[in-house]
Amino acid sequence: MRRLIQRLRYWTGRKRTERELAEEMELHRAMRQEELERSGMPGKEAGHASRRAMGNVSVAREDARAIWIWPWLEGLFSDLRFALRGLRRDRAFALAAIAMLALAVGLNATMFTVMNTMLFRGFPLVQENDRLVYIQEQGPSGCCMSYPDFEVWRSQAQAFEGMAFIAERPVTFSDGGESSIRIVPFTVSANTFELLGVQPMLGRDFVSADEGPGAAPVAILNYRFWESRFGKRDDIIGSTVYFDRAPATIIGVMPDGFDFPTQSDIWMPLAHTPELHQRSGLAIFEDPGGFLAFGRLRDGADLDEARAELETINRSLEAEYPETNRRVVPTVKTHSQFFVGQDAPMIYGLLWAAGWFILLIACANLANLVLARTVGRWREFSTRIALGAGSGRMIRRILVESLTIAIVAGALGWWIVNWGVRGWAAATASPYQILDHTVDSGRLAYLVAISVAAAIMFSLAPVGRVLRLGVNGPLRGDARGVTRDPRGKRLAAVTVATQMALAVVLLSGAGVLVRSLFNIVGAETGVRDPENIVVGTLRLPPDRYPSPESRLAYFDRLEAQLTSIPGIDAEALAVSLPVGNRYPRAIEIEGRPSPPDGSEPVGLLAVGPDYFRVVGASAISGRDFNNGDDRPEGLPVAIVNQRFAADFWPGEQALGKRLRAEDGEWRIVVGVVSNIMQGDPLRQQFYPLIYVPFRQEPPPNQRPASFLVRTGVPPDQVMQVVRAEVEQSDSGVTLQDFATLKASFAFNRDRMPLAHAELGKNAAMAPIFAAIALLLAAIGLYAVVAHSINQRRKEIGVRMALGAAAQDIRRMVLGDGMLPVAIGTILGLAASLAVNRVLQSQLVGVSPNDPLTMAGAPVVLILVALLACQIPARRAMKVDPTVVLRND
């Protein structure tokens, strides 16, 4: 140790030491010269003689330097050479070890990166994301944010360095040409970008004067929009564009990769309209998420402090404005809580833990492999130790070999991380979730750290063996005594059992997650053959269709065009598609007093006359809508679903009853229809629904309408024509979500409640992890069993010679191998009961202790384990006793 410190000191002061050495030797020479001169030699000659006597000064200096560094480096290099030679000789071992470790550290580090991104990194390019908090309000009537409340916060709250307000504002955009598109820019407080610490890459930021009333309208472009719409023109600054036909000046372009708070093309200063400043409660904002405030915490302030302060302010607001602010509380969240979900730490923590499970399984495999290799070289090691090599040297050799494997695996793992994170980002990209997916040096440091940690972990067992061996252990006969070491066998059994337990936990976790996903996407929706229904959602430009009459005229034209397409059986309009929004309304039923604080609202959908025919619902009783109903002045009728009839008129005849929505006109129920999934994104229940004729309650301005067509031919044959017809009906209309109804039933995170938005990713990732874990565990089991059979060839030979049948040998091998598997499975099941409970909030329609999963996981595992044992067992049965016994 002291020598190591001395060496380090030498290295750090190397220059000085060499200078000193040179000085010292020069002095030596000079002294000799003086002495020679004193003895009478002429000065010049004395100089030459002294130099001659010194010999080769630089060689001497080299020698002196070598004293310090050479033996150490030499040892290291020789170990490294030894390791490389060994690995090259045992290529199968090297490849298997590197592949397993690369996969494991790559996956682990990928999950670490993903977890970091999801929980801690926040927005790309934004400075000190962890100091930003996102704020909305929650009241009895819903969310999200009231601007007057925000102004009070901004003037009173002490916990913030600054706050800003953000609101969506849908507009039509044109750059002066004929065509206009519908976009949804964000209007933001002028200090928004300053608070984020991001500057426009071109032009200028907003200043407070831009926000004031009467300010000249300005806009800042998103890089993506600048690129796609303006071809990255530098002279864009100062040019004029039109929002809802009103001119505005472009003053800046934000840098590439910047989006805030969700994907958007354009930012504008907050428009201080009278509505914004109205203290009208929260109900005016229909679209949650469209309105929010955020703040940067002052140094020293934390989230809880900010939350407590805003709550206090809101209580005083409640006292001041009881009408609008009754029970309105602020919700203060971090980036991950707001945009990823409250359960994010649990979800991504578990994914990371799964990454560690894989790494542990791989390390157990490697430990067994390295141990088997060490035992295989036992004679060599014994000889070396007997010849005087210290056990320290042996341990260093094992460690250097392990580290060599870890370094190569780490390099491959780094490639996996980059590839994996890119794949993850592409597969999970969502316009509503802006994440920083850059893989930086911190991730590299983590990867290096876990690679080295893994190398040390899987070297522990062989190193321990060398230490126990001591000096007088070896040469006491052949390797048999060592390999039969019961401790080694126990260690192998323990690693196999641990691997199996970890694999069971991952399998059962994956099982319940996948079942949850299937419970959503495979749920009964009440729709027949959704793969033959083509759907689309239409957004009409509001300026061109201001009145309900103009919109109905457009729908007439569109329906005429759609029904004329050959291959189409039926067509219908609807305010919402199956599984989509149910637009709940308070309702009143004739003859029943409405409860004082309003009953549970009920979904009310306006649908065209052929709607039930298109979706394939069966009428239970009464009649369907007809074209006579589907007129603004048509008879006020309604059709309810079975669930509604069962909830509101149990045991009664629903037909002929009357009901109305809020203050609408009274409607007669003319039919009861089978249940169709609506309004529950998790698709776990049928809500009571009221259907009314489409043209009696067409969608209000700004709200989309949908169309559904049932095709008699494969849908891809007509989809092009349908799209063309829609575009031809009016080029200003935006067609969204154009697909078959079946495709629209797929899992879409943006349509899920935030708590379950990540289920799709998890249900996709978990089986991958489980499969890799299972594969690695099976490889590990195979290696252990195969190795033990190799060591026991003689014993097997003796048994066979004594009359054991091949079947007995197989039973013996399987029994040996499967015992730790069984123990591991039981432990794993016990652990999954606990782990799956943590998953509970993610599960849909399945219990954490789902019996099917809990039975299925062990069955899968044991089948795979049997397979892994079977291969070596076969080899054991082929052992020829005569050959084995003669060999001894």
312-332 burial, b if ≥16 CB within 10 A, otherwise e? Answer: ebbeebeeebeebbeebbbbb
CB 395 to other proteins: min, Å:
23
The answer to whether 64 contacts other proteins (rule: CB under 8 A) is yes
CB 24 to other proteins: min, Å:
5
CB 84 to other proteins: min, Å:
29
The CA-based dihedral angle spanning residues 264, 267, 273, 277, taken in that order and rounded to the nearest 10 degrees:
80
Query: Cβ atoms within 10 A of the Cβ of 161, count?
Result: 12
Stretch that binds other proteins, among 47-55, 229-237, 699-707, 873-881 (CB under 8 A): 47-55
Q: What are phi and psi of 524, to 5 degrees?
A: -70, 120
The answer to whether 66 contacts other proteins (rule: CB under 8 A) is yes
Residue closer to other proteins (CB basis): 22 or 834? 22
CB 8 to other proteins: min, Å:
12
The answer to whether 457 and 367 have CB atoms below 8 angstroms apart is: yes
CB 47 to other proteins: min, Å:
15
The answer to whether 20 contacts other proteins (rule: CB under 8 A) is yes
Half-sphere exposure of residue 115, counting CA atoms within 13 Å on the CB side? 20
Residue closer to other proteins (CB basis): 31 or 553? 31
The residue behind tokens 């200063």 is 269
The answer to whether 690 and 607 have CB atoms below 8 angstroms apart is: no
CB 56 to other proteins: min, Å:
7
The answer to whether 63 contacts other proteins (rule: CB under 8 A) is yes
The answer to whether 59 contacts other proteins (rule: CB under 8 A) is yes
Residue closer to other proteins (CB basis): 43 or 212? 43
Distances (CA, A) of 537 to 71, 573, 575, 632, 808: 76, 10, 9, 22, 69
Stretch that binds other proteins, among 50-58, 374-382, 389-397, 429-437 (CB under 8 A): 50-58
Exactly one of 53, 283, 445, 713 binds other proteins (CB under 8 A); which one?
Answer: 53
The answer to whether 6 contacts other proteins (rule: CB under 8 A) is yes
Exposed, middle or buried: residue 609 (CB in 10 Å: 0-12, 13-18, 19+)? buried
Q: What are phi and psi of 213, to 5 degrees?
A: -65, 135
CB 99 to other proteins: min, Å:
43
CB 67 to other proteins: min, Å:
4
The answer to whether 886 contacts other proteins (rule: CB under 8 A) is no
CB 6 to other proteins: min, Å:
6
Residue closer to other proteins (CB basis): 24 or 531? 24
CB 74 to other proteins: min, Å:
15
Q: What are phi and psi of 738, to 5 degrees?
A: -80, 115
Q: How far is CA 768 from the centre of its chain?
A: 13
Tell which phi-psi region holds residue 540, choosing left (phi > 0), alpha (psi between -120 and 50) or beta. beta
Residue closer to other proteins (CB basis): 56 or 155? 56
CB 390 to other proteins: min, Å:
18
Query: Cβ atoms within 10 A of the Cβ of 520, count?
Result: 23
The answer to whether 31 contacts other proteins (rule: CB under 8 A) is yes
Exactly one of 41, 54, 96, 453 binds other proteins (CB under 8 A); which one?
Answer: 54
Exactly one of 14, 16, 24, 386 binds other proteins (CB under 8 A); which one?
Answer: 24
What is the enclosing helix (H) or strand (E) of 171?
Answer: strand 171-174
The answer to whether 21 contacts other proteins (rule: CB under 8 A) is yes
Half-sphere exposure of residue 860, counting CA atoms within 13 Å on the CB side? 23
Residue closer to other proteins (CB basis): 59 or 92? 59
Stretch that binds other proteins, among 54-62, 210-218, 258-266, 609-617 (CB under 8 A): 54-62
**Per-residue x/- track, 753-772, other proteins (CB under 8 A):** --------------------
Query: Cβ atoms within 10 A of the Cβ of 177, count?
Result: 7
The answer to whether 511 and 856 have CB atoms below 8 angstroms apart is: yes
Residue closer to other proteins (CB basis): 17 or 674? 17
Stretch that binds other proteins, among 30-38, 230-238, 432-440, 689-697 (CB under 8 A): 30-38
Stretch that binds other proteins, among 56-64, 283-291, 405-413, 551-559 (CB under 8 A): 56-64
Query: Rounded CA gap, 665 and 192, in Å?
Result: 47
Residue closer to other proteins (CB basis): 34 or 556? 34
Residue closer to other proteins (CB basis): 17 or 438? 17
CB 31 to other proteins: min, Å:
5
CB 32 to other proteins: min, Å:
7
Exactly one of 11, 23, 304, 632 binds other proteins (CB under 8 A); which one?
Answer: 23
The answer to whether 25 contacts other proteins (rule: CB under 8 A) is yes
Instruction: Name the residue among 281, 266, 240 with its Cα closest to residue 168.
Output: 266
| Maximal CA-CA distance, the chain | 140
With a CB cutoff of 8 Å and minimum separation 6, the contacts of 45 are: 36
The answer to whether 10 contacts other proteins (rule: CB under 8 A) is yes
Angle at 199 between CA 287 and CA 239, to 5 degrees: 80
Judged by CB under 8 A, the chain residues 143 through 172 that form the site for other proteins are: none
What angle do the packed helices 759-791 and 793-801 form, to 10 degrees?
A: 60
Instruction: Name the residue among 160, 150, 6 with its Cα closest to residue 72.
Output: 6
Q: How far is CA 137 from the centre of its chain?
A: 28
The answer to whether 56 contacts other proteins (rule: CB under 8 A) is yes
472-509 burial, b if ≥16 CB within 10 A, otherwise e? Answer: ebbeeeebeebbeeeebeebbbebbbbbbbbbbbbbbb
Stretch that binds other proteins, among 24-32, 131-139, 770-778, 872-880 (CB under 8 A): 24-32
Exactly one of 38, 39, 67, 887 binds other proteins (CB under 8 A); which one?
Answer: 67
Question: How far apart, in Å, do the first and last CA atoms of the chain sit?
Answer: 47
Q: Per-residue DSSP letters for 532-575? A: GEEEEEEE--TTT--SHHHHHHHHHHHHHHHHTSTTEEEEEEES
Residue closer to other proteins (CB basis): 53 or 871? 53
Stretch that binds other proteins, among 21-29, 356-364, 644-652, 673-681 (CB under 8 A): 21-29
The answer to whether 7 contacts other proteins (rule: CB under 8 A) is yes
The answer to whether 240 and 286 have CB atoms below 8 angstroms apart is: no
Query: Rounded CA gap, 667 and 689, in Å?
Result: 14
Instruction: Name the residue among 787, 792, 807 with its Cα closest to residue 868.
Output: 787
- In one-letter notation, the amino acid at residue 71 is P
Q: What are phi and psi of 875, to 5 degrees?
A: -65, -40
The answer to whether 2 contacts other proteins (rule: CB under 8 A) is yes
CB 57 to other proteins: min, Å:
8
CB 71 to other proteins: min, Å:
10
The answer to whether 8 contacts other proteins (rule: CB under 8 A) is no
**Per-residue x/- track, 551-590, other proteins (CB under 8 A):** ----------------------------------------
Residue closer to other proteins (CB basis): 21 or 719? 21
CB 81 to other proteins: min, Å:
25
Rg (CA), the chain: 38
Exactly one of 27, 284, 768, 830 binds other proteins (CB under 8 A); which one?
Answer: 27
The answer to whether 3 contacts other proteins (rule: CB under 8 A) is yes
Query: Rounded CA gap, 108 and 237, in Å?
Result: 46
Residue closer to other proteins (CB basis): 53 or 76? 53
Binding site for other proteins (CB under 8 A): 2-3, 6-7, 10, 20-21, 23-25, 27-32, 34, 53-57, 59-61, 63-68
